[in-house]
A and B are shown apart, each in its own frame.
Chain A
Amino acid sequence: MTDAALPRRQPFALRFPSVMIFLAILALFTVGVTILSEGFGIGVISTSFIKTLGKTLCLCLVALAMDLVWGYCGILSLGHMAFFGLGGYAIGMWLMYARTEIIVLESLAAAPLPPTPQEVSDGIATQIFGVVGSSEFPPIWAFAHSLPLQLAAVVIVPGLLALVFGWLAFRSRVTGVYLSILTQAMTLALSLHLFQNDSGLRGNNGLSGLQNLPGLDDVPQATVSLWFFWASALALGLGYVLCAWIVSGKFGSVIRAIRDDEARVRFLGYPVEAFKLVIFTLTAVIAGIAGALYYPQAGIINPAEIAPIASIYLAVWVAIGGRGRLYGAVIGAAFVSLVSTWFTGGQAPDINLGVYTISWVDWWTVLLGLSFVAVTLYAPKGIGGLIDLITERKSPNRHGASLGPDQGSLREQEAEK
């Protein structure tokens, strides 16, 4: 046996050219958009479209997380948008608090006596919670005054929820469709809870005005939108490299093995539950970060954002893009969410059939549903599968092909086809 047959340890970038290609495209895209923007460039792209693009990058990031947990590890979580929303709420609390604090301080500045901290706090609370008929801070706002603490909450809250949920679910070996249902129940319960006025997060009003950065009122939105766009692009790039690193090594081997035959992995001695928990929690954290970048661009977050359907859409994006490959998730999220914006934004021309007019605002979901079914049935590799046509990547996709031992030789013929 010569060493020649062994894989050479090349630098990461060379072993995974797709990562470099992705980063190059992302960088070009970011520079291009900046040049065409209103804030820093020639003003071809409107600020609201910059925000749409920035939000799309965040959706790509959460789709990466979804691909890691579902496409690579085989856990069909239908609750990851809950983590995304929690990240948004965590940063939204600080944005709202800090901005309201400035307003309250300004209005109290005119008073003859300097305001006491209690007066300031009461003033902020009345401003924020007036809509839900309260004027006191709920306990979960204890850290809202501190940016570092709320930033920590962006990763800790989704991470902790995923850790506890995952620990309970994986420990009792809940898998497959039962796990999917459980995750749906989790996101439904969370959204119902947040809908209540006494949840402490302003019920169905949600948190708003998030596009305004506290103390930076003089900076135009055209500029702020680009800051967030850049931050989103950076986060997506880093997230992509992280995910690529995770799936490239032995860890990636093990989680793909768990996806394909979890029982067998146990007999190799790997603690399957621990691996699932790590992936579930890590992807929840990534989702939280994506959400924290998304909602300041959206400007508002409310409990409807974490309704069960949101997480189902996420799975649909990844399926359409092609699960089990990172760029597939990115393509799926970008493509479907942009097309969806186009259709639901009323830009798509309606089709007049004489007796009935197909209005895309209503029919888009039907079209999306049909595409999902079509992709699942006829093109399980998704849009990303098209890349295989270029690179001629072949995979022996014969999972569960259980030809008995006697016909074993058949498999060889099959493989040589």
Chain B
Amino acid sequence: MSTLLEVSGVSVSFDGFKAINNLSFQIAERELRAVIGPNGAGKTTFMDIITGKTKPDEGRVIYGDKSVSLLKMSESKIAQAGVGRKFQRPTVFEDQSVFDNLMMALKKTRGPLAVLFFKPSAEDNHKVADLAEQIGLSGALHRKSGELSHGQKQWLEIGMLLAQEPRLLLVDEPAAGMTPAEREHTTDILREAAKTRAVVVVEHDMEFVRRLNCKVTVLHEGSVLAEGSLDHVTKNEQVIEVYLGR
């Protein structure tokens, strides 16, 4: 499997505080990866860097077959290149219906003129309907998404991500605030998604990570502490000390 994303030697500091410290990370196509680490380890900042929200002080971020650097691209260009992101706090457009949210996310030309003259085809409508089914929101298509429960919003956001058809999916704490049954459904969706694209999942909950059943990267103070199977990293002395032994 070829490498899809390579982050090497990246550092970021906020007002002198090093949030990310010489971090290196690689993920292959169609790989599922869990990223764990204590609060403030830099997991969200790591995603900010890949998606162009935060520009690192040094380091490289190389993406795709053509090995383009993401550092010079705007957030929207990076998203168009196939990097999708789910935020820690669910951010859906509360004032708009589930249908509108999904339709907006659907992979289409993003320019203003194309959007102005856009008319959904029957196929587009079906795609939206299928996605809604996948995330269990078929019955809520025409409700304002602000009316959904927290867990449903998380799903809607995952649905919007899938609608974007990204090659790399970054998911920040998808299971936060979900019931055990909802969590299980979420693991299924993510594992399914990882069959066709690379998925990086940040999560605190060990049970959730165990169910994902994939390679795990442990972040601590802005750099990688350990990497390997969940059993492998949980045996690591340092990991136990900084994270599990809290």
Q: Of A278, A404, A408, A412, which is within 8 A of B112 by CB?
A: A278
Contact A253 B111 (CB under 8 A): no
Contact call A253/B104, Cβ cutoff below 8 A:
yes
Whether B129 contacts A268 by the Cβ 8 Å rule is no
Give the complex CA separation of A405 and B89 in angstroms.
Answer: 7
List which A250-286 residues lie within 8 A (CB) of chain B.
Answer: 250-251, 253-254, 256-257, 260-261, 263-264, 266-272, 274-275, 278
Give Cα A398–Cα B133 distance, bound, in whole angstroms.
Answer: 26
Known A-B contacts A269-B79, A406-B177; the reply to A256 vs B95 at CB < 8 A is yes
**B55 CB, nearest partner CB in chain A, Å:** 13
Residues of A within 8 A of B84 (CB): 267
The answer, yes or no, to whether B25 is at the interface (CB within 8 Å) is: no
Interchain CB contact under 8 A, A261 and B100: no
Q: Does A5 have its Cβ within 8 Å of any Cβ on chain B?
A: yes
A4 to chain B, nearest CB (A): 10
Total inter-chain residue pairs, C-beta < 8 Å: 136
Q: Is the CB of B129 within 8 A of A415?
A: no
In-complex Cβ contact of B87 among A256, A260, A264, A270 (8 A): A264
Would you call A118 an interface residue if the criterion is a C-beta within 8 Å of the partner chain's C-beta atoms? Answer: no
Query: In the complex the two chains form, is B93's CB within 8 Å of A250's CB?
Result: no
A163 CB, min distance to chain B CBs, angstroms: 13
Quick one: given A7-B99, A250-B115, are A269 and B164 in contact (CB under 8 Å)? yes
B93 touches A256 (CB 8 A): yes
Q: Do residues B53 and A1 form an inter-chain contact, with CB atoms below 8 A?
A: no
Given A272-B76, A409-B150, decide whether A253 and B177 contact each other with a Cβ distance below 8 A.
no
Q: Does A411 contact B (CB under 8 A)?
A: yes
Q: How large is the interface on B (under 10, 10 to 19, 20 to 34, 35 or more residues)?
A: 35 or more
Give the docked Cα–Cα distance between A402 and B89 (Å): 8
Contacts of B138 in A (CB 8 A): 1, 5
Q: Does B64 make an interface contact (CB < 8 A)?
A: no
Task: Pick from A263, A268, A398, A399 the residue with the most CB of B within 10 Å.
Answer: A268
Contacts of B141 in A (CB 8 A): 5-6
Contact in complex: B132, A1 (CB < 8 Å): yes
Which of A251, A269, A402 has the largest number of chain B CB atoms within 10 A?
Answer: A269
Point out the residue from B53, B75, B129, B146 that lies within 8 Å of A398, measured CB to CB. B146
User: Among the listed A1, A256, A260, A267, which residue makes an inter-chain contact with B79, where contact means beta carbons less than 8 Å apart?
Assistant: A267
CB nearest neighbor in B for A250: B118
Chain A residues 226-264 with CB under 8 Å of chain B are 246, 249-251, 253-254, 256-257, 260-261, 263-264
Cβ contact of A5, chosen from B95, B116, B129, B146, cutoff 8 A: B129
**B130 pairs with A1, CB closer than 8 A:** yes
B80 at the interface (CB under 8 A from A): yes
Known: A5-B129, A267-B75, A411-B149. A251 touches B112 (CB 8 A): yes
CB within 8 A of A261: which of B85, B93, B139, B150? Answer: B93
Closest Cβ neighbor of A274 among chain B residues: B112
Is the CB–CB distance between A268 and B94 below 8 Å?
Answer: no
The yes or no answer to B144 lying at the interface (CB within 8 A) is yes
Closest chain B residue, CB of each to CB of A270:
B110
- In this assembly, does B91 line the interface, its C-beta being within 8 Å of a C-beta of chain A? yes
| A1, B74: Cα distance in complex, Å | 37
Q: With both chains docked as a complex, state the minimum distance between the C-beta of A167 and any C-beta of chain B, in angstroms.
A: 13
B227 to chain A, nearest CB (A): 27
A268 touches B105 (CB 8 A): yes
Which residue, B94, B111, B125, B139, has most C-beta atoms of chain A within 10 A? Answer: B94
Residues of chain B from 45 to 103 with CB closer than 8 A to chain A in the complex? 51, 53, 74-76, 79-80, 84-85, 87, 89, 91, 93-96, 99-100, 103
Minimal beta-carbon separation of B92 from chain A (angstroms): 8
- Asked whether any CB of chain A lies closer than 8 Å to the CB of B233, the reply is no
Q: Roughly how many angstroms separate A403 CA and B99 CA in the complex, as a whole number?
A: 24
Q: Is A396 an interface residue (CB 8 A)?
A: yes
B-side contacts of A264, CB under 8 Å: 87, 91, 93
CB distance from B87 to the nearest CB of A (A): 7
Contact indicator A267/B176 (Cβ below 8 Å): no
B160 adjacent to chain A (CB < 8 Å): yes
Complex formed: what's the CA distance from A1 to B147 in Å? Answer: 22
Tell me, yes or no, whether A116 is within 8 Å of chain B by CB.
no
Contacts of B144 in A (CB 8 A): 395-396
Q: How many angstroms between the C-alpha atoms of A260 and B140 in the bound complex?
A: 21
Q: A1-B133, A396-B94, A405-B177 are in contact. Are A253 and B76 (CB under 8 A)?
A: no
* B52: nearest chain-A partner, CB-CB: A266
Q: A253-B100, A261-B91, A396-B94 are in contact. Are A271 and B164 (CB under 8 A)?
A: no
The answer to whether A256 and B96 have CB atoms under 8 Å apart is: yes
Does B146 lie within 8 Å of A251, measured CB to CB? no
The answer to whether B93 touches A405, judged by C-beta atoms less than 8 angstroms apart, is no
- CA–CA, A266 and B73, complex, Å: 12
Indicate whether B189 reaches chain A with its CB closer than 8 angstroms.
Answer: no
In the complex, B151 has a CB within 8 A of chain A: yes
A7 to B74, CA, bound (A): 34
Of all chain A residues, which has the CB nearest B112?
A: A278
Contact B105 A251 (CB under 8 A): no
Taking a contact as CB atoms under 8 Å apart, the answer to whether A415 and B112 are in contact is no
Q: Which residues of B contact A254 (CB under 8 A)?
A: 104, 115
In the complex, the chain B residue whose C-beta lies closest to that of A413 is B149
Closest Cβ–Cβ distance, residue A317 to chain B (whole Å): 23
Chain A CB within 8 A of B142 CB = yes
What residues of chain B lie closer than 8 Å to A3, measured between beta carbons?
125, 129
A 368-402 contacts with B by CB, 8 A: 395-399, 402
A-B contact pairs, 22 of them (CB 8 A): A1-B130, A3-B125, A5-B129, A5-B139, A250-B104, A251-B112, A261-B93, A266-B79, A267-B75, A268-B104, A269-B79, A269-B80, A270-B76, A271-B74, A274-B111, A274-B112, A396-B94, A396-B147, A399-B95, A405-B176, A408-B149, A408-B176
Given contacts A5-B129, A256-B95, A402-B89, 17 further A-B contacts (CB under 8 A): A3-B125, A249-B116, A250-B120, A253-B93, A253-B103, A261-B91, A264-B93, A268-B79, A268-B110, A269-B76, A271-B112, A396-B94, A396-B147, A405-B89, A405-B150, A412-B150, A415-B146
What 7 A-B pairs have minimum CB-CB distances, sorted nearest first?
A: A408-B150, A396-B146, A408-B177, A405-B177, A269-B79, A405-B176, A412-B149
